[in-house]
Amino acid sequence: MRESVLEESVRELIDAAAVAGGRPDPANALVDFLRTALLTALARPGLTDVLITGSDETESLQRAKGELVEATSGLLARVRPAPALTGENLLKLLCGLIHAVSEHPAERQGAAIDNYLGILRAGLAPAP
């Protein structure tokens, strides 16, 4: 049961990545996807474990994670033709952001998300 709920969450993230992929500004689209993914993960305990682990209990969940890696890789490719990050590494970075945000009191988590994503967005700016 838990696996199916978490797989559903992964599929929601795949859908969110697809929506972000259709937005005109690639860097903002990536940040919007990460915001959605952060909020989803904060609302669904256990999702972080699924995203960060290399071993999944079901083949279906493993396939869904592979699709999510492909989707996030596509978002990264739009930002930079040869991104330093891979989709898999972006998901691990997302897990770190989830942990960092969850350490803030609930009333400050929204501001923490804005701050962390602002830092990430600045790092995605094209080099002069």
pTM given for the model:
0.85
Q: Which two tokens stand for residue 52?
A: 């960060």
pLDDT at 87: 83
CA proximity to 93, closest of 111, 109, 77, 76: 76
The residue to which tokens 């898999």 are assigned: 88
Residue 91: how many CB atoms within 10 A of its CB?
22
pLDDT at 81: 58
CA proximity to 37, closest of 87, 111, 95: 95
pLDDT in tens, the chain (128 residues): 567 778 899 999 999 999 999 999 998 999 999 999 999 999 988 888 888 876 667 888 889 999 999 999 898 888 875 557 788 888 888 999 999 999 999 999 999 999 999 988 887 766 54
| Degrees, nearest 5: CA angle 15-17-20 | 115
Give residues with Cβ within 8 angstroms of 25, minimum separation 6: none
